[in-house]
């Protein structure tokens, strides 16, 4: 009877032990479930929430700290990084984030070999956008600093694919307006200092950059009108100073072009006309007797300054024509057509012939190239000048230049002068011993004057002091 309580107590202890073991097992199971939830289920849910909300960096941090230790989640991380990269690219392209954040996204993606192709595809566009965005930022800095042309250059280099391109275009226009206003201010300062030429140079240079800019065009007109007024005032002052000194010619040199520049100024025109009439009358009074006495050089020296000032004045033009027309015109000063020259042509001063005579000015022709060196025959060289009937007389001297080599095989030279197709002068059998021959030819109505020559080896023709006259009156002996 005493053993029965003992068995019951042992059974109770065993039962309690089983219950304790069961509770411990249940507790361990619950703890395991809790740990699984904390370490797996909840992080996955959090990762999914962060990923869905676009918080890619936080999702990646959670993955690296927790989920990377759990198998089967690597693809989720790669997809998260890929989406993060695409999201960052879109935000950077839309100017929502800066370059450093974009570079951070790329740096994260570089840790995943599976994303190498994504990065390689993005790199060209990203490089272009980096450069475009850098140009935009530099352009903004330069614009703020007032360096407008440099700012325009930066904005102009932006990519059209940049979402800031339109904004960059607007800022480029802002820089252009700032530059034009800067030119207006600069040229205004120059005009205040009477530096009108510098002001005009500055605005014209600006217009080469922006030829259709209304501000610059208007400023150019302002400068032009201001300069005209300034030039008129200073020129009138200079003319008055010349008049005060009794220098009518100098005053008219100033007033005559001024009258043309200001045709609507009646007072200026009347004043200039008054002085012109007085001045031209003085010139005519001085030059006319000289022309009557055939002192053409003296008359020319008097009339020439007046002709420079008033070439359209009938009296002055007539006097000038008479004086200048009677003066010799050096033949080589005209335009010659020496395509058929064949030989060579030179000119010189104080040239000596084979008899020791000196000529103040001379034309020198060498022989043409030989047609046949065996027979010593030569082609004829020709030098042509279109007179077109403007001249009446041709005077000069034909000689052989000193220093010509000896004639070979007894061959001599010939020199001819033609007026159109008419032979006016001919000298044959020319050699070193030939005497100089002076010619005085009537070339009235001649359109084409021709010098034609042929010679033996080494002969050089010398035309000394050859002059043309538009009017010709033989001097009385």
Per-10-residue mean pLDDT of the chain, 477 residues long, equals 64 77 77 60 55 61 56 67 83 87 84 84 89 94 95 94 91 95 95 93 94 93 91 89 90 89 88 91 94 92 93 93 90 77 80 92 75 54 87 93 65 86 91 90 93 73 91 64
- Whether 261 and 318 map to the same domain: the answer is yes
The angle formed by the CA atoms of residues 191, 193 and 195, to the nearest 5 degrees, is 60
Q: Contact 431/353 with Cβ under 8 angstroms?
A: no
Query: Could you tell me which residues are beta bridge partners of residue 438?
Result: 397
pLDDT of residue 477: 42
Tell me: do 345 and 458 sit in the same domain.
yes
Considering the domain architecture, whether residues 253 and 317 belong to the same structural domain is answered as yes
**Whether residue 259 is found in the same domain as residue 390:** no
**Backbone region of residue 453 per phi and psi (left: phi > 0; alpha: psi in -120 to 50; beta: other values):** beta
pLDDT at 96: 86
Take residue 67 and report the two structure tokens written for it. 């989920």
Question: What CATH number has the domain bearing residue 403?
Answer: 2.60.120.1060
Domain match, 336 and 391 both:
yes
Tell me the angle at which helices 116-144 and 148-156 cross, rounded to the nearest 10 degrees: 160
Q: For the chain, how big is the Rg over CA atoms in Å?
A: 52
Are 347 and 453 within one domain? yes
Number of domains in the chain: 2
321: which 2 tokens? 């024509």
- On whether residue 151 sits in a domain, the answer given is no
Residue 309 forms part of a structural domain: yes
Q: What does the pLDDT read at residue 357?
A: 93
The most distant pair of C-alpha atoms in the chain lies apart, rounded to whole Å, by: 195
Contact call for residues 328 and 469 (beta carbons, < 8 A): yes
Q: Is residue 281 part of a domain?
A: yes
Neighbours of 173 (CB within 10 A): 12
Residues 334 and 464 in one domain: yes
Q: Which helix (H) or strand (E) holds 441?
A: strand 437-442
Cα 224 from chain centroid (whole Å):
23
Looking at 291, 325, 359, the residue that finishes a domain is 325
């Amino acid at each position: 009877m005493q053993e029965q309580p003992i068995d019951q107590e042992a059974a109770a202890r065993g039962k309690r032990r089983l219950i304790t073991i069961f509770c411990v097992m249940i507790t361990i199971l619950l703890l395991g479930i809790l740990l699984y939830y904390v370490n797996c289920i909840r992080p996955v849910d959090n990762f999914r929430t962060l990923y869905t909300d676009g918080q890619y960096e936080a999702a990646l941090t959670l993955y690296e700290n927790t989920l990377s230790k759990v198998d089967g989640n690597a693809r989720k991380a790669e997809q998260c990084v890929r989406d993060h990269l695409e999201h960052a690219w879109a935000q950077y392209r839309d100017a929502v984030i800066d370059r450093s954040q974009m570079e951070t996204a790329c740096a994260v993606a570089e840790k995943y070999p599976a994303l190498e192709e994504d990065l390689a595809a993005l790199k060209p566009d990203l490089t272009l956008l980096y450069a475009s965005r850098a140009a935009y930022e530099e352009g903004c800095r330069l614009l703020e600093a007032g360096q407008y042309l440099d700012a325009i250059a930066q904005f102009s280099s932006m990519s059209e694919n940049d979402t800031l391109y339109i904004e960059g275009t607007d800022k480029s226009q802002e820089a252009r307006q700032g530059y034009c206003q800067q030119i207006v201010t600069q040229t205004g300062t120059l005009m205040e200092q009477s530096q009108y030429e510098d002001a005009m140079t500055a605005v014209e240079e600006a217009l080469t950059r922006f030829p259709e800019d209304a501000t610059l065009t208007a400023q150019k007109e302002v400068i032009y009108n201001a300069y005209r007024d300034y030039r008129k005032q200073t020129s009138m002052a200079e003319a008055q100073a010349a008049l005060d000194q009794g220098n009518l010619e100098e005053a008219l040199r100033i007033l005559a072009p001024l009258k043309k520049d200001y045709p609507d100024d009646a007072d200026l025109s009347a004043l200039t006309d008054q002085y012109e009439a007085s001045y031209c009358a003085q010139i005519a009074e001085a030059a006319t007797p000289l022309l009557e006495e055939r002192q053409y050089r003296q008359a020319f020296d008097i009339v020439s300054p007046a002709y420079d000032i008033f070439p359209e004045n009938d009296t002055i033009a007539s006097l000038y024509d008479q004086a200048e027309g009677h003066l010799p015109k050096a033949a080589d000063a005209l335009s010659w057509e020496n395509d058929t020259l064949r030989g060579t042509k030179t000119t010189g001063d104080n040239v000596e012939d084979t008899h020791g005579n000196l000529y103040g000015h001379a034309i020198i022709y060498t022989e043409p190239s030989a047609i046949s060196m065996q027979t010593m025959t030569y082609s004829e060289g020709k030098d042509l000048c279109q007179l077109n009937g403007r001249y009446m007389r041709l005077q000069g001297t034909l000689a052989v230049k000193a220093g010509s080599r000896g004639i070979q095989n007894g061959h001599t030279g010939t020199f001819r002068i033609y007026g159109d197709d008419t032979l006016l002068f001919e000298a044959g059998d020319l050699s070193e011993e030939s005497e100089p021959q002076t010619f005085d030819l009537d070339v009235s109505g001649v359109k084409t004057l021709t010098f034609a020559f042929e010679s033996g080896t080494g002969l050089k023709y010398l035309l000394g002091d050859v002059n043309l006259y538009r009017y010709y009156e033989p001097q009385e002996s």
